[in-house]
Amino acid sequence: MRSTNPVNNEIIREYKEHTPAETSVIIEEVHSEWLKWKETTFDYRAGLFRNAAKLLRERKDTYARLMTSEMGKIIRESQAEIEKCANACDFYAEHAASMLQDQIIASDASRSLVVFQPLGVILAVMPWNFPFWQVFRFAAPSLMAGNAAVLKHASNVPGCALAIEEVFRDAGFPANLFRTLMIPSSAVKNVIENPFIVAATLTGSEYAGSEVASAAGKQIKKTVLELGGSDAFIILEDADMVKAVKTAITARMINQGQSCIAAKRFIVVESRVAEFEEKVKQTMESLKMGDPLDPQIDVGPMARKDLVEEIDRQVQRSVSSGARLVLGGKQADRPGCYYLPTIISGIRPGMATYHEETFGPVISIIPVKNEEEAIAVANDSEFGLGGSVWTEDLKRGEAVARKIETGAMFVNGLVKSDPRLPFGGIKKSGYGRELSDYGIKEFVNIKTIWIA
Protein backbone atom coordinates (compact mmCIF):
# COMPACT_ATOMS: atom_id res chain seq x y z
CA MET A 1 0.00 0.00 0.00
CA ARG A 2 1.41 3.37 -0.99
CA SER A 3 0.60 7.05 -1.26
CA THR A 4 1.56 8.84 -4.48
CA ASN A 5 1.69 12.57 -5.06
CA PRO A 6 -0.61 13.37 -8.03
CA VAL A 7 1.38 16.54 -8.77
CA ASN A 8 4.31 14.51 -10.08
CA ASN A 9 3.28 10.83 -9.60
CA GLU A 10 6.17 10.32 -7.18
CA ILE A 11 5.76 7.83 -4.33
CA ILE A 12 5.49 9.58 -0.97
CA ARG A 13 5.62 6.51 1.24
CA GLU A 14 4.85 2.81 1.25
CA TYR A 15 2.93 1.11 4.06
CA LYS A 16 2.82 -2.49 5.21
CA GLU A 17 -0.58 -4.14 4.91
CA HIS A 18 -2.17 -5.97 7.80
CA THR A 19 -2.39 -9.72 7.38
CA PRO A 20 -5.76 -11.45 7.90
CA ALA A 21 -4.55 -12.61 11.32
CA GLU A 22 -3.45 -9.10 12.31
CA THR A 23 -6.76 -7.71 11.10
CA SER A 24 -8.71 -10.15 13.25
CA VAL A 25 -6.64 -9.26 16.31
CA ILE A 26 -7.28 -5.54 15.78
CA ILE A 27 -11.03 -6.07 15.47
CA GLU A 28 -11.11 -8.18 18.63
CA GLU A 29 -9.14 -5.50 20.50
CA VAL A 30 -11.60 -2.85 19.35
CA HIS A 31 -14.54 -4.98 20.46
CA SER A 32 -12.98 -5.45 23.89
CA GLU A 33 -12.53 -1.70 24.18
CA TRP A 34 -16.13 -1.12 23.14
CA LEU A 35 -17.41 -3.21 26.04
CA LYS A 36 -15.94 -0.56 28.34
CA TRP A 37 -16.62 2.46 26.13
CA LYS A 38 -20.37 1.83 25.89
CA GLU A 39 -20.62 2.32 29.67
CA THR A 40 -19.05 5.78 29.58
CA THR A 41 -21.18 8.91 29.90
CA PHE A 42 -22.03 11.42 27.21
CA ASP A 43 -20.19 14.08 29.18
CA TYR A 44 -17.02 11.99 29.19
CA ARG A 45 -17.20 11.31 25.46
CA ALA A 46 -17.98 14.96 24.75
CA GLY A 47 -14.85 16.07 26.58
CA LEU A 48 -12.71 13.83 24.39
CA PHE A 49 -14.37 15.09 21.21
CA ARG A 50 -13.72 18.67 22.26
CA ASN A 51 -10.07 17.65 22.67
CA ALA A 52 -10.15 16.19 19.17
CA ALA A 53 -11.59 19.41 17.76
CA LYS A 54 -8.86 21.42 19.45
CA LEU A 55 -6.13 19.15 18.07
CA LEU A 56 -7.55 19.34 14.56
CA ARG A 57 -7.44 23.11 14.65
CA GLU A 58 -3.94 23.18 16.11
CA ARG A 59 -2.66 20.77 13.46
CA LYS A 60 -4.76 22.12 10.61
CA ASP A 61 -1.84 23.12 8.40
CA THR A 62 0.00 19.83 8.95
CA TYR A 63 -3.01 17.67 8.16
CA ALA A 64 -4.04 19.88 5.25
CA ARG A 65 -0.61 19.49 3.63
CA LEU A 66 -0.79 15.73 4.11
CA MET A 67 -4.20 15.61 2.45
CA THR A 68 -3.10 17.77 -0.46
CA SER A 69 0.07 15.72 -0.97
CA GLU A 70 -1.80 12.42 -1.07
CA MET A 71 -4.81 13.30 -3.24
CA GLY A 72 -4.22 16.73 -4.77
CA LYS A 73 -6.88 18.94 -3.15
CA ILE A 74 -5.84 22.60 -3.25
CA ILE A 75 -4.48 23.67 0.12
CA ARG A 76 -7.18 26.14 1.13
CA GLU A 77 -9.84 23.47 0.55
CA SER A 78 -7.82 21.03 2.65
CA GLN A 79 -7.60 23.56 5.46
CA ALA A 80 -11.35 24.16 5.28
CA GLU A 81 -11.95 20.40 5.43
CA ILE A 82 -9.98 20.08 8.67
CA GLU A 83 -11.97 22.94 10.19
CA LYS A 84 -15.21 21.25 9.13
CA CYS A 85 -14.13 18.07 10.92
CA ALA A 86 -13.44 20.04 14.08
CA ASN A 87 -16.88 21.64 13.84
CA ALA A 88 -18.51 18.21 13.57
CA CYS A 89 -16.67 17.06 16.71
CA ASP A 90 -17.91 20.10 18.59
CA PHE A 91 -21.44 19.72 17.25
CA TYR A 92 -21.89 16.14 18.43
CA ALA A 93 -20.12 16.85 21.71
CA GLU A 94 -22.79 19.49 22.30
CA HIS A 95 -25.88 17.71 20.98
CA ALA A 96 -25.46 13.92 21.10
CA ALA A 97 -26.89 13.54 24.60
CA SER A 98 -30.11 15.39 23.75
CA MET A 99 -30.43 13.57 20.41
CA LEU A 100 -30.26 10.20 22.16
CA GLN A 101 -32.16 10.96 25.35
CA ASP A 102 -34.93 8.53 26.32
CA GLN A 103 -38.31 9.23 24.76
CA ILE A 104 -41.37 8.70 26.93
CA ILE A 105 -44.35 7.56 24.83
CA ALA A 106 -47.93 7.14 26.03
CA SER A 107 -49.29 3.61 25.54
CA ASP A 108 -51.32 0.99 27.39
CA ALA A 109 -48.40 0.52 29.80
CA SER A 110 -48.00 2.34 33.07
CA ARG A 111 -44.76 3.58 31.55
CA SER A 112 -43.31 3.01 28.08
CA LEU A 113 -40.23 4.52 26.56
CA VAL A 114 -37.77 4.30 23.70
CA VAL A 115 -34.06 4.17 24.49
CA PHE A 116 -31.11 4.43 22.12
CA GLN A 117 -28.20 2.09 22.78
CA PRO A 118 -24.92 1.55 20.89
CA LEU A 119 -24.53 -1.49 18.64
CA GLY A 120 -20.81 -2.27 18.81
CA VAL A 121 -17.95 -2.14 16.31
CA ILE A 122 -18.84 -0.41 13.04
CA LEU A 123 -16.79 -0.89 9.87
CA ALA A 124 -16.30 2.32 7.87
CA VAL A 125 -15.18 1.98 4.24
CA MET A 126 -14.25 5.48 3.17
CA PRO A 127 -13.13 7.23 -0.06
CA TRP A 128 -10.16 9.41 -0.93
CA ASN A 129 -11.89 12.58 -2.16
CA PHE A 130 -12.61 14.02 1.30
CA PRO A 131 -10.21 11.86 3.29
CA PHE A 132 -10.74 13.54 6.67
CA TRP A 133 -14.33 14.80 6.45
CA GLN A 134 -15.88 11.56 5.24
CA VAL A 135 -14.39 9.77 8.24
CA PHE A 136 -15.27 12.35 10.88
CA ARG A 137 -18.85 12.78 9.68
CA PHE A 138 -19.28 9.08 10.47
CA ALA A 139 -17.00 8.79 13.49
CA ALA A 140 -18.21 11.79 15.49
CA PRO A 141 -21.85 10.67 15.79
CA SER A 142 -21.04 6.95 15.96
CA LEU A 143 -18.48 7.18 18.76
CA MET A 144 -20.54 9.76 20.65
CA ALA A 145 -23.42 7.25 20.51
CA GLY A 146 -21.18 4.74 22.27
CA ASN A 147 -19.98 2.66 19.33
CA ALA A 148 -16.42 1.74 18.34
CA ALA A 149 -15.02 1.73 14.80
CA VAL A 150 -12.51 0.25 12.40
CA LEU A 151 -11.62 2.19 9.27
CA LYS A 152 -10.76 0.77 5.87
CA HIS A 153 -9.70 3.90 4.04
CA ALA A 154 -9.00 4.31 0.32
CA SER A 155 -5.68 2.79 -0.68
CA ASN A 156 -4.21 6.07 -1.95
CA VAL A 157 -4.64 7.99 1.35
CA PRO A 158 -3.08 5.73 4.00
CA GLY A 159 -1.28 8.68 5.58
CA CYS A 160 -4.59 10.43 6.18
CA ALA A 161 -6.06 7.25 7.68
CA LEU A 162 -3.25 6.97 10.22
CA ALA A 163 -3.40 10.69 10.97
CA ILE A 164 -7.07 10.39 11.89
CA GLU A 165 -6.26 7.49 14.21
CA GLU A 166 -3.56 9.73 15.69
CA VAL A 167 -6.09 12.49 16.39
CA PHE A 168 -8.30 10.18 18.43
CA ARG A 169 -5.38 8.68 20.32
CA ASP A 170 -3.79 12.04 21.13
CA ALA A 171 -7.16 13.49 22.16
CA GLY A 172 -7.32 10.90 24.95
CA PHE A 173 -9.64 8.30 23.44
CA PRO A 174 -8.85 4.69 24.35
CA ALA A 175 -6.12 3.45 22.02
CA ASN A 176 -8.21 0.64 20.58
CA LEU A 177 -11.54 2.44 20.20
CA PHE A 178 -10.83 3.64 16.64
CA ARG A 179 -8.37 1.70 14.53
CA THR A 180 -7.23 1.78 10.92
CA LEU A 181 -7.09 -1.44 8.93
CA MET A 182 -4.37 -1.38 6.29
CA ILE A 183 -6.08 -3.86 3.99
CA PRO A 184 -6.99 -4.09 0.29
CA SER A 185 -10.59 -3.85 -0.89
CA SER A 186 -10.62 -7.58 -1.48
CA ALA A 187 -10.33 -8.14 2.28
CA VAL A 188 -13.44 -6.12 3.21
CA LYS A 189 -15.77 -9.09 2.80
CA ASN A 190 -13.84 -11.05 5.43
CA VAL A 191 -13.99 -8.10 7.81
CA ILE A 192 -17.76 -7.88 7.42
CA GLU A 193 -18.00 -11.59 8.22
CA ASN A 194 -16.06 -11.11 11.46
CA PRO A 195 -18.55 -11.73 14.33
CA PHE A 196 -17.39 -8.63 16.20
CA ILE A 197 -18.41 -6.33 13.31
CA VAL A 198 -22.08 -5.41 13.75
CA ALA A 199 -22.67 -2.97 10.87
CA ALA A 200 -20.94 -1.16 8.03
CA THR A 201 -21.03 2.24 6.39
CA LEU A 202 -19.56 3.02 2.99
CA THR A 203 -19.03 6.13 0.93
CA GLY A 204 -17.87 5.29 -2.56
CA SER A 205 -18.85 3.89 -5.93
CA GLU A 206 -22.00 2.00 -6.85
CA TYR A 207 -19.96 -1.16 -7.32
CA ALA A 208 -18.27 -0.90 -3.94
CA GLY A 209 -21.60 -0.18 -2.31
CA SER A 210 -23.27 -3.18 -3.88
CA GLU A 211 -20.40 -5.44 -2.79
CA VAL A 212 -20.50 -4.23 0.82
CA ALA A 213 -24.30 -4.33 0.95
CA SER A 214 -24.33 -7.86 -0.45
CA ALA A 215 -21.73 -9.14 2.00
CA ALA A 216 -23.45 -7.44 4.95
CA GLY A 217 -26.87 -8.66 3.85
CA LYS A 218 -25.71 -12.27 3.94
CA GLN A 219 -24.61 -11.68 7.53
CA ILE A 220 -27.81 -9.77 8.38
CA LYS A 221 -25.82 -6.68 9.31
CA LYS A 222 -27.02 -3.14 8.73
CA THR A 223 -25.42 -0.84 6.18
CA VAL A 224 -25.55 2.84 5.34
CA LEU A 225 -24.41 3.72 1.80
CA GLU A 226 -23.53 7.08 0.29
CA LEU A 227 -22.66 6.41 -3.32
CA GLY A 228 -22.33 8.38 -6.54
CA GLY A 229 -24.23 11.43 -7.62
CA SER A 230 -25.07 13.34 -10.77
CA ASP A 231 -26.49 16.45 -9.20
CA ALA A 232 -28.64 18.77 -11.27
CA PHE A 233 -27.98 22.52 -11.25
CA ILE A 234 -31.21 23.99 -12.66
CA ILE A 235 -31.21 27.56 -13.98
CA LEU A 236 -34.70 28.90 -14.69
CA GLU A 237 -35.42 31.97 -16.80
CA ASP A 238 -35.72 34.31 -13.78
CA ALA A 239 -32.44 33.24 -12.13
CA ASP A 240 -29.88 35.77 -10.91
CA MET A 241 -27.20 34.77 -13.40
CA VAL A 242 -24.32 36.48 -11.62
CA LYS A 243 -24.96 34.51 -8.41
CA ALA A 244 -25.76 31.33 -10.31
CA VAL A 245 -22.51 31.41 -12.30
CA LYS A 246 -20.39 32.18 -9.25
CA THR A 247 -21.89 29.22 -7.39
CA ALA A 248 -21.78 27.00 -10.48
CA ILE A 249 -18.00 27.37 -10.69
CA THR A 250 -17.57 26.50 -7.02
CA ALA A 251 -20.11 23.68 -7.24
CA ARG A 252 -18.32 22.08 -10.16
CA MET A 253 -14.67 22.85 -9.44
CA ILE A 254 -14.44 22.10 -5.72
CA ASN A 255 -11.91 19.31 -5.26
CA GLN A 256 -11.29 19.42 -9.03
CA GLY A 257 -14.87 18.20 -9.54
CA GLN A 258 -14.20 15.02 -7.58
CA SER A 259 -17.18 15.18 -5.25
CA CYS A 260 -20.37 13.16 -5.06
CA ILE A 261 -22.38 16.33 -4.45
CA ALA A 262 -20.60 18.46 -7.01
CA ALA A 263 -22.99 19.95 -9.56
CA LYS A 264 -22.63 17.81 -12.68
CA ARG A 265 -25.62 18.37 -14.96
CA PHE A 266 -26.25 22.07 -15.64
CA ILE A 267 -29.86 22.18 -16.83
CA VAL A 268 -30.50 25.64 -18.29
CA VAL A 269 -33.62 27.04 -19.96
CA GLU A 270 -32.88 27.85 -23.59
CA SER A 271 -33.36 31.60 -23.20
CA ARG A 272 -30.41 31.75 -20.75
CA VAL A 273 -28.04 29.15 -22.22
CA ALA A 274 -25.87 31.53 -24.28
CA GLU A 275 -25.47 33.92 -21.33
CA PHE A 276 -24.61 31.08 -18.95
CA GLU A 277 -22.07 29.59 -21.37
CA GLU A 278 -20.29 32.90 -21.90
CA LYS A 279 -20.12 33.90 -18.24
CA VAL A 280 -18.98 30.44 -17.12
CA LYS A 281 -16.35 30.34 -19.86
CA GLN A 282 -14.95 33.72 -18.84
CA THR A 283 -14.57 32.59 -15.25
CA MET A 284 -13.20 29.13 -16.06
CA GLU A 285 -10.56 30.65 -18.35
CA SER A 286 -9.31 32.82 -15.49
CA LEU A 287 -8.72 29.92 -13.08
CA LYS A 288 -5.07 29.33 -12.22
CA MET A 289 -3.72 25.79 -12.49
CA GLY A 290 -0.64 24.66 -10.62
CA ASP A 291 0.84 23.25 -7.42
CA PRO A 292 -2.06 22.66 -4.99
CA LEU A 293 0.17 23.68 -2.07
CA ASP A 294 0.29 27.19 -3.53
CA PRO A 295 -2.55 29.17 -1.84
CA GLN A 296 -3.01 31.27 -5.02
CA ILE A 297 -3.89 28.25 -7.16
CA ASP A 298 -7.51 27.47 -8.16
CA VAL A 299 -7.05 24.15 -9.99
CA GLY A 300 -4.84 21.33 -8.81
CA PRO A 301 -4.35 17.80 -10.09
CA MET A 302 -6.94 15.08 -10.02
CA ALA A 303 -6.20 12.30 -7.54
CA ARG A 304 -5.00 9.59 -9.94
CA LYS A 305 -4.01 9.11 -13.56
CA ASP A 306 -6.82 6.64 -14.23
CA LEU A 307 -9.37 9.25 -13.14
CA VAL A 308 -7.93 11.73 -15.62
CA GLU A 309 -8.21 9.14 -18.38
CA GLU A 310 -11.81 8.29 -17.44
CA ILE A 311 -13.08 11.88 -17.43
CA ASP A 312 -11.36 12.48 -20.78
CA ARG A 313 -13.08 9.41 -22.26
CA GLN A 314 -16.47 10.70 -21.11
CA VAL A 315 -15.84 14.11 -22.66
CA GLN A 316 -14.60 12.66 -25.97
CA ARG A 317 -17.54 10.24 -26.18
CA SER A 318 -19.99 13.09 -25.62
CA VAL A 319 -18.33 15.28 -28.25
CA SER A 320 -18.31 12.38 -30.70
CA SER A 321 -22.07 12.04 -30.07
CA GLY A 322 -22.69 15.67 -31.01
CA ALA A 323 -21.92 17.75 -27.92
CA ARG A 324 -20.19 21.07 -28.52
CA LEU A 325 -16.82 21.67 -26.87
CA VAL A 326 -16.78 25.19 -25.44
CA LEU A 327 -13.57 25.05 -23.41
CA GLY A 328 -10.78 22.62 -22.48
CA GLY A 329 -11.51 19.00 -23.23
CA LYS A 330 -8.06 17.49 -22.77
CA GLN A 331 -5.31 16.67 -20.30
CA ALA A 332 -3.10 19.59 -19.36
CA ASP A 333 0.32 19.74 -20.97
CA ARG A 334 2.26 19.30 -17.74
CA PRO A 335 3.46 16.45 -15.52
CA GLY A 336 1.03 14.91 -13.06
CA CYS A 337 -2.70 14.23 -13.08
CA TYR A 338 -4.01 17.52 -14.45
CA TYR A 339 -7.11 17.99 -16.61
CA LEU A 340 -8.10 21.32 -18.11
CA PRO A 341 -11.29 22.98 -16.83
CA THR A 342 -13.83 21.95 -19.45
CA ILE A 343 -17.24 23.05 -20.72
CA ILE A 344 -19.36 21.00 -23.12
CA SER A 345 -22.80 22.11 -24.23
CA GLY A 346 -25.75 20.76 -26.16
CA ILE A 347 -25.86 17.63 -24.01
CA ARG A 348 -28.84 15.40 -24.67
CA PRO A 349 -30.04 11.88 -23.79
CA GLY A 350 -27.71 9.15 -25.04
CA MET A 351 -24.53 11.10 -24.38
CA ALA A 352 -22.07 9.93 -21.75
CA THR A 353 -22.18 13.05 -19.60
CA TYR A 354 -25.99 13.07 -19.61
CA HIS A 355 -26.25 9.66 -17.95
CA GLU A 356 -22.94 8.95 -16.21
CA GLU A 357 -21.42 10.51 -13.12
CA THR A 358 -18.59 12.83 -14.19
CA PHE A 359 -15.88 12.92 -11.54
CA GLY A 360 -13.71 15.75 -12.76
CA PRO A 361 -13.61 19.47 -13.74
CA VAL A 362 -16.24 19.29 -16.49
CA ILE A 363 -19.38 21.42 -16.84
CA SER A 364 -22.04 19.71 -18.98
CA ILE A 365 -24.82 22.02 -20.15
CA ILE A 366 -28.23 20.54 -20.98
CA PRO A 367 -30.62 23.03 -22.66
CA VAL A 368 -34.33 22.68 -21.82
CA LYS A 369 -37.43 24.53 -23.00
CA ASN A 370 -39.02 25.29 -19.65
CA GLU A 371 -39.41 24.42 -15.97
CA GLU A 372 -41.41 21.28 -16.68
CA GLU A 373 -38.70 19.87 -18.93
CA ALA A 374 -36.02 20.88 -16.43
CA ILE A 375 -37.72 18.81 -13.73
CA ALA A 376 -38.10 15.84 -16.09
CA VAL A 377 -34.41 15.97 -17.09
CA ALA A 378 -33.27 16.36 -13.48
CA ASN A 379 -35.23 13.22 -12.55
CA ASP A 380 -34.01 11.31 -15.62
CA SER A 381 -31.07 9.86 -13.69
CA GLU A 382 -30.15 6.71 -11.84
CA PHE A 383 -28.74 8.91 -9.09
CA GLY A 384 -30.52 10.93 -6.43
CA LEU A 385 -28.07 12.58 -4.06
CA GLY A 386 -28.46 16.37 -4.24
CA GLY A 387 -29.27 19.25 -6.52
CA SER A 388 -30.08 22.95 -6.72
CA VAL A 389 -32.52 25.23 -8.48
CA TRP A 390 -32.00 28.91 -9.29
CA THR A 391 -34.92 31.32 -9.45
CA GLU A 392 -35.81 34.71 -7.95
CA ASP A 393 -39.23 33.33 -6.95
CA LEU A 394 -38.56 31.43 -3.72
CA LYS A 395 -42.01 29.81 -3.63
CA ARG A 396 -41.41 28.54 -7.14
CA GLY A 397 -37.96 27.31 -6.11
CA GLU A 398 -39.39 25.33 -3.21
CA ALA A 399 -42.11 23.88 -5.42
CA VAL A 400 -39.50 22.70 -7.94
CA ALA A 401 -37.26 21.38 -5.15
CA ARG A 402 -40.12 19.21 -3.86
CA LYS A 403 -40.47 17.59 -7.29
CA ILE A 404 -36.82 16.57 -7.73
CA GLU A 405 -36.00 12.99 -6.71
CA THR A 406 -33.00 13.49 -4.43
CA GLY A 407 -31.98 13.33 -0.79
CA ALA A 408 -31.42 17.10 -0.71
CA MET A 409 -32.31 20.16 -2.79
CA PHE A 410 -30.96 23.67 -2.37
CA VAL A 411 -32.73 26.78 -3.65
CA ASN A 412 -30.26 29.46 -4.79
CA GLY A 413 -27.43 27.84 -2.86
CA LEU A 414 -24.46 25.49 -3.01
CA VAL A 415 -25.20 21.86 -2.20
CA LYS A 416 -23.20 20.97 0.90
CA SER A 417 -23.24 18.77 3.98
CA ASP A 418 -23.95 20.30 7.37
CA PRO A 419 -23.93 18.49 10.76
CA ARG A 420 -27.29 20.09 11.54
CA LEU A 421 -29.01 18.56 8.50
CA PRO A 422 -29.41 14.95 7.34
CA PHE A 423 -27.26 13.92 4.39
CA GLY A 424 -27.76 11.00 1.99
CA GLY A 425 -29.41 9.91 -1.22
CA ILE A 426 -31.96 7.72 -2.93
CA LYS A 427 -31.90 5.51 -6.03
CA LYS A 428 -28.34 4.42 -6.84
CA SER A 429 -26.94 7.19 -4.66
CA GLY A 430 -27.50 4.91 -1.69
CA TYR A 431 -29.65 4.75 1.42
CA GLY A 432 -29.60 5.75 5.06
CA ARG A 433 -28.57 9.13 6.40
CA GLU A 434 -25.49 10.70 7.93
CA LEU A 435 -25.28 13.78 10.15
CA SER A 436 -27.97 15.45 12.29
CA ASP A 437 -30.05 13.38 14.70
CA TYR A 438 -31.04 11.09 11.80
CA GLY A 439 -27.41 10.13 11.26
CA ILE A 440 -26.57 9.44 14.90
CA LYS A 441 -29.56 7.07 15.12
CA GLU A 442 -28.49 4.90 12.16
CA PHE A 443 -26.13 2.84 14.33
CA VAL A 444 -28.03 2.50 17.59
CA ASN A 445 -30.52 -0.03 18.86
CA ILE A 446 -33.84 1.82 19.02
CA LYS A 447 -35.26 -0.19 21.88
CA THR A 448 -38.80 -0.15 23.26
CA ILE A 449 -39.24 -0.69 27.01
CA TRP A 450 -42.83 -1.41 28.18
CA ILE A 451 -43.62 -1.49 31.89
CA ALA A 452 -46.91 -2.80 33.29
Catalytic residue positions, numbered: 226, 260
Report the C-alpha gap between 73 and 61 in whole angstroms.
13
Which residue, among 247, 355, 337, 265, has the nearest Cα to 301 in the 3D structure?
A: 337
- Phi/psi zone of residue 146: left (φ > 0), alpha (ψ -120 to 50 degrees), beta? left
- Phi/psi zone of residue 346: left (φ > 0), alpha (ψ -120 to 50 degrees), beta? left
Side-by-side strand order, sheet with 362-368? 324-327, 342-345, 362-368, 263-269, 231-235, 387-390, 410-411
Q: Identity (one letter) of the amino acid at 96?
A: A
Report the C-alpha gap between 8 and 136 in whole angstroms.
29
Pairing assessment for the beta strands 324-327 and 342-345 based on DSSP bridges: antiparallel
- Give the Å distances, CA to CA, from 288 to 53, 201, 285, 394: 32, 37, 8, 35
The answer to whether the beta carbons of residues 170 and 58 sit under 8 Å apart is no
- The contacts of residue 332 (CB under 8 Å, 6+ apart) are 289, 338, 339, 340
